[in-house]
Chain A
Amino acid sequence: MNKTPEQINQDLLRPLYHATWRFYAAATILTALVVAAFFAWGYQIYYGIGVSGLNRPVFWAFYITNFVFWIGISHAGTLISAILRVSNASWRRPVTRCAEAITVFALSISAMFPLIHLGRPWLFFWLIPYPSERGIWPQFRSPLLWDFFAINTYLIGSVTFLALPSFPDFALIRDRADGWRKKVYSIVSLGWRGTPKQWHRLEMAMRIMAVAIIPVAVSVHTIVSWDFAMAPVPGWHSTIFGPYFVAGAIFSGIAALIIAMALLRKLLHLEEYLKPIHFDNLGKLLLVMSLLWFYFVFAERLTTWYGNSPSEMAVFWTTQVGSFSPLFWTMVFCNFIIPAPILAIKNLRNKIGWTVVASIPIIIGMWLERFLIIVPSLSHKILPYNFGSYRPSWVEITITVGTFAGMGLLYLIFSRVFPIISIWELKLGMTKGEAPALASQEAATEQPQGG
């Protein structure tokens, strides 16, 4: 990269000033879908949860699937970014901001689902431990309450993690802009002047956050898995669920990150910043997670089959050869058979198009995985008399589509108000002589330099 700092400023701040008709068209369509989803939710609140396809015994289905899926996607960002920061991988610099933004948005979306799925959503605040007039605390033994704390901790942590390194960039915009932008960015840059003291504190804060957020991220998805693993339901009550969910989360998260980066690169013309090397490196991570995912599924299935407990086997057969088997084998294709070979071949992995081809099925496959964990087990609980089935209603489908649109919309707006690549970190990398990491295929690990 032979760009001057001023050229970088101009390249990366351009989206904040110029929007094409494509932006408005996309924003309109996505907004319409989000509005439809909110309408569906309102309809459900008005008439009752009965407008969904839920029944006895399938009390959880699409909503909880979406909840787990979006939490999984949220693991792309903060966790990956934190690991790359802690390990000082210099190729991270153009990637971290868009990754961290995925976390914040996906987590916000997923945090809505426990509310959407409630029978009486207007009473959700009873989950909050506060000295209420009802004279009762929430049940601290309930995994749902652990969830509540885990998600809130993670949300606060990842918002902080996104916000901290943004202040210098906001200040940059403030200094260059005039009119309303100057006012707005003056406020959000929180008085950043770039003094050595401020830089020092920012560095310290980032170092602490990067280390602290990793256990938080791991614990969040472990606790989500415990929502299932703690219940005596065939196929749920398993010790493998914690690591299985965390691995699956990172897997789907990286896939989402690759897709988002490819779109940004194309739409915002960031070809000189997001290079094949970034996709190649993320592709390697994705390959590792794909193999790990397959290992987990295999280990889980084999132990179930070998154990041969009747209630577990009812769930096993319905997913392997029964009514859920088309979904199951689609999942295996999407998560392993399609992406693993693509990502294993170097000449495909270092082409951006191919990493996207590998990532899209993973998103579908991981959504199916969450669905297949929930519904076959609930519809085949221990007593055969209560076997049931499930079919989603238009309400659930609309809300599900709406969340994908919502994710797109939030990201679209984000890319118009935030510099999508952290400008100061990019420049810092250049002054440290990391230019090759941006320019060529050598992703040399940066020498630790105390910052």
Chain B
Amino acid sequence: MVIDEDRCTGCEACVAACHAENNIATVGDAEAARGRAMHWIRVERYYEGDFPDIRVKYRPVLCQQCSDAPCEPVCPTYASYHNPEGLNAQIYNRCIGTRYCANACPYTVRVFNFYNPVWDKPLNLQLNPDVSLRSVGIMEKCTFCIQRIKVAEIKAKTEKRPLKDGEFNPACVESCPTGAMVFGDLNDPESRVSRLSRSSRGTTLLEELGTHPVVTYLKRDTWDHEQNA
């Protein structure tokens, strides 16, 4: 995935879409104030410059699906594991809730079911049948909408053809009004996401930790240009 920080307006449509797609519980404002909001993707806000020349920088952060993920080896029950396609899968049934993976994750993108999930009415009527519900005491996180990946793969297989670039998108990418997020197959050097990830603006989050994330951020450079001008 590639995320263009120049295009992100911080509207948080991705957050809402993710909640709807993945049956993520809404914990309510009191719990959210205690730091228990369960967003799989969040929009981080950073303020640059001194008053009055302040620019807000938005950075959507979701699971970086690290190639060398710190969350994986620490899980004693293989709930957090690397699937053959290179995703950091979280297998809910195996999770016993040690929360070690969440501590090891330098991006803090893992969220925990502190209680059994609840949805305010009428949200309880729009749960996605393709996504399993998680109970209390279980860790969960962004899956890159693996249910959509699977549907597209099965469809392509029945039609005996390879997956097309951009054939499907995770909910966050699909909902982004400015097209700041691009999803695709990094193994295909010609895919749109591969080309964008080779951009000179490309950078990965906390690169120095050696986690090798597959999410590339295209850094915001308009601000630098304006300053230099």
Contacts and interface: CB of A to CB of B under 8 A. Distances in A.
Nearest to B205: A383
Contact of A49 (B61, B77, B100, B114): B114
Given A48-B114, A127-B77, A139-B75, A120 B137 contact: yes
A120 B95 CA distance: 8
A438 B70 CA distance: 55
A119 B35 contact: no
A386 B109 CA distance: 9
A255 interface: no
A120 B97 contact: yes
B108 interface: yes
B103 A378 contact: yes
A55 B100 CA distance: 13
Contact of A48 (B37, B104, B116): B116
B102 A123 contact: no
Interface string A166-189: 000000000000000000000000
Interface string B29-48: 00100111100001011100
A139 B114 contact: no
Nearest to B104: A231
Given A48-B113, A136-B94, A118 B107 contact: no
A243 interface: no
B24 to A, nearest CB: 13
User: Which one of B31, B99, B135 has the highest number of Cβ atoms from chain A below 10 Å of its Cβ?
Assistant: B99
B139 A233 contact: no
A56 B108 contact: yes
Interface in A377-403: 378, 381-383, 385-386, 388-389
Given A59-B99, A233-B103, A50 B115 contact: yes
A382 B137 contact: no
A148 interface: yes
A232 interface: yes
A54 B98 CA distance: 12
A145 interface: yes
A120 B138 CA distance: 7
Contact of A138 (B76, B99, B107): B76
B175 to A, nearest CB: 21
B74 A56 contact: no
A404 interface: no
Contact of B77 (A138, A227, A231): A138
A57 interface: yes
B111 interface: yes
Contacts of B223: none
B78 A57 contact: no
A56 B45 CA distance: 18
Contacts of A270: none
Interface string A118-129: 111101101100
B96 A56 contact: no
A378 B110 CA distance: 14
A18 interface: no
- Which label, helix, strand, loop or mixed, suits the secondary structure of the B interface? loop
A383 B103 contact: no
A257 to B, nearest CB: 31
A271 to B, nearest CB: 47
Given A48-B136, A56-B35, A126 B77 contact: yes
A10 to B, nearest CB: 51
A119 B95 contact: yes
Contact of B76 (A47, A134, A148): A148
Contacts of A227: 100
Given A136-B78, A231-B70, A59 B35 contact: no
A141 B42 CA distance: 30
B209 interface: yes
B108 A383 contact: yes
A296 interface: no
Contact of B137 (A58, A118, A381): A118
A143 interface: yes
Nearest to B210: A232
Contact of B115 (A47, A58, A136, A388): A47
Interface string B49-91: 0000000000001000000001001111110000000000000
A231 B113 contact: no
B94 A232 contact: no
A89 B106 CA distance: 49
A26 B145 CA distance: 58
A195 B103 CA distance: 56
A410 to B, nearest CB: 26
Nearest to B34: A55
B206 interface: yes
B168 interface: no
Contacts of A49: 97, 112, 114, 136-137
Nearest to A58: B35
A426 to B, nearest CB: 44
Interface string A83-119: 0000000000000000000000000000000100111
B76 A139 contact: yes
Contacts of A378: 103
Contacts of B45: 385
A381 to B, nearest CB: 6
Interface of B: 31, 34-37, 42, 44-46, 61, 70, 73-78, 94-100, 102-104, 106-108, 111-116, 135-139, 206, 209
Interface of A: 47-50, 54-60, 114, 117-121, 123-124, 126-127, 134, 136, 138-139, 141-145, 148, 227, 230-233, 378, 381-383, 385-386, 388-389
10 contacts: A54-B99, A57-B103, A60-B99, A139-B76, A144-B74, A148-B76, A232-B106, A385-B44, A385-B45, A386-B108
Given A56-B37, A136-B78, A383-B107, 5 more contacts: A49-B136, A57-B108, A120-B137, A142-B74, A383-B206
